[in-house]
A and B are shown apart, each in its own frame.
Chain A
């Protein structure tokens, strides 16, 4: 008999996981019959959290036998990890399913922003080349100094790629990473003062909300570029928009926003900004890999084996209280 997995999708996303549907029996509060649901809600042990569906105390109260939450994203800011830890509930994320593609996308956004690729493509499609002459000069990528805020699996992959573009790498993280030889800066502001490009790819937590604030962006400077493929709330968006409009930072490549899908209107007119609808990891191969990882986590759970991509809640200092 197939194992029962609670399938929770309260996000705006219409995603399916066909490989999991074949293997497990999903208990879906939105579609299961009332009688089936009420008979199993009290005993279901594992929850599949789709996209950024919130998992909080209220959710956990409804399913008192839950022992594990399987996330389908890299970032878990929509899951109350402190509450999970308190209840002894284990949590897994998407592991490295999206890491390569997110890193590719960060580099793509960086090049697009500096070299004005989207703006130049718009210029050409508007028929402006023949009429207005050459598109204005853009800015060199090679050799720029890059600061990575968050040196996890995505940050490492971004570093490797950018080194091939002659970029020097420095980083900020909660603490220095043992096997990383790039210069470490204890504060993001200090990091920003010493780089040309700031790539934001850390987890969103209570500590990192608005970690990129006005002071950090001023430290980055008039020619500095921000690339954000983490979460919108890592940056004080209102301040960033003001600084971009005034020309006090050089540009931005943004895959995420504070209130998706809302994008500040002021950014629409700027050629030194590239806007993207949270697609950093969205390729077919990564969704396949995601399903493999989720299947592995669920099967390991039922077999009482170590989970593949478990988040060590004990080691997250910001949730210990």
Chain B
């Protein structure tokens, strides 16, 4: 291996310098220094390639996936990224690369036209508008990006094997730098190399046709050789550059060859031949590394063309090549930096005109960014390869052709190098980092190559080899991909461009899409076709979802979505029950509560209808409540209604309607209270207080409305209607105790009247439960008050108590009163009892007993509930004589009704 490479190196040295200048004028000068700084001399010497190899293989694998996985297998790609951040990193890098690619074509053209030396001056022109002053660009681009990626190159060399994107990048950078170094060493001319490698092809300049043929595998012999040079150079360089390095590479070979060879052969890709020939040609042993050669040079070597230019003969051919290849080559020509571009054509261009390698670049750099560059050197070296425009630019080139091989270039950029390098060469738009994935399929391929290299285990050499090897591999890959899916590149390319313009968010979107695709195997294919996917940004989607969720927000789920709410509650309750039965749930007490997150209250602006006061001809606004009047009926009715009878009837009607409406209002209030209660149930504890207030206020309103203080008739009229009685029955339990008691008191006061009206249909009974409940909880004072009401209402001779006990509701009430009296007496020690109340109560009981004695048994009505305790109470309060009189009748209250 060494030998092969070494021969190439010398050739490269001469031709390359020139070529390199063309390609990457900026970098040349300080490369040596930088390399030393970055890698130190020791590295080369003490390099443990095995160790390195292990590290590399890990890194490379990761890198490969990242770079290459994307185009063909989205899933892998995704998996490789541990996190989104990583992904972003990658995407940004790729963006830079892409930009470079785009710019490259223009640059290439320019470069071709201009001699290398001029280039420096013309940099601005070359780069075009997109790239501000070349120097600025370089500084700009290199410094920010490169630092991150490349920071402390020396350390990198020793980095632990942990796989990490950054590390990968570093490694790549190193490799790139190393390669460049090595290349510089060889003093041989390309010619020599060629001769060695390809006996038959000596000194003959290849024409574009030849190249093409070779690429296609037709005329393999001559062309293939050059290519191998190009590719191989990396390995060769390494050895050549430093004694130790050279040795290492030689050792490496075992792992090295096998993987590539098969692929190349099968395809006949130009690369394929490369590997072999170099070996064969090894003859030129360890070309002494003259001086560090810029990475560009390295690139140049790879391409057969490059080699050609070095030799005078080649020069002639070069023009031809240029013309023909120009379309493809543009990227290479001027930007040579990218190793991937190694394409023969580009090399030629550079080679002939370019001055000695080191000078041009160095001069450029020195002026502005040298200082920065030095630190970043490693990066730069790598950069050039990155910057190289991919196959995309070439588009149509034959699959196997060197041009297609863009892969190599990509490899560098695809890896860590991409961003920094690109900056100087390709005028990548500084702002346009984001396009993450856009990276064309082509570029990534290089990475795979890189993998193989590391395996070879060259340590530094690895890297270099790696990068080179990467190129070769890339080429192969490209060949594959192109062969399989010619359109793919274009599509990808297209996408890439679009991506460029996208911003961060877009990247994310892309990412998501990828993911999506990941799930569907077909997606990848589809995706390449479906350039319109993701027209809706995540933001927009979120927005719609929010809108849809807002529609579901409710303050009162019972009201807004009663059926759903009830249904879910029911379902949950069933689940609960099941779990309880299974014993999984212990807390049987805990009730199901519907919890609604407290929602931001919607602004409730009270609706104010437009007021058009004083406006001529008032606007007629009609609504459900105030429909537009089509016919004015009133004027006709008035005269009629004034006549006698009909008027009375309508008056009656109106009154009853009025009453019904009032009761309806009462119900409305009641419903409001219900709503509030439901709301309260749905709210967490803390949020309930204000609603409790509301409820209390509403009940007070309701109470006032029913009681209508000072207007007994109102209450009676309500109570005269069944609906009204029901309302009272429903409201009673809700009221506060005092309010409820007041109401019961009112009820008792009017008991006689109500019972009179109630004859027949025991409509009062609907009140029974509510009233009984109130009585059962009242204290003695209230009890006495109730009793007094019954007594007092006797005013008009029709003793209320007597009437009451002849009515089921009434008798029930009285019965309950007595029972309550007994309970109170039984539970309170006589000492604690208020004497006055006690005596009043006794008085009532006595009266009751007296009435009971008078009323005929037949007219007595059984109460709904019976209380045996009444007998005891009588025993307690009445004399035995009286008790004996009413004993039978009392039984009515104490014992269940016997079936008559």
Do A and B pair up? The answer is no
Binding site for A on B (CB under 8 A): none
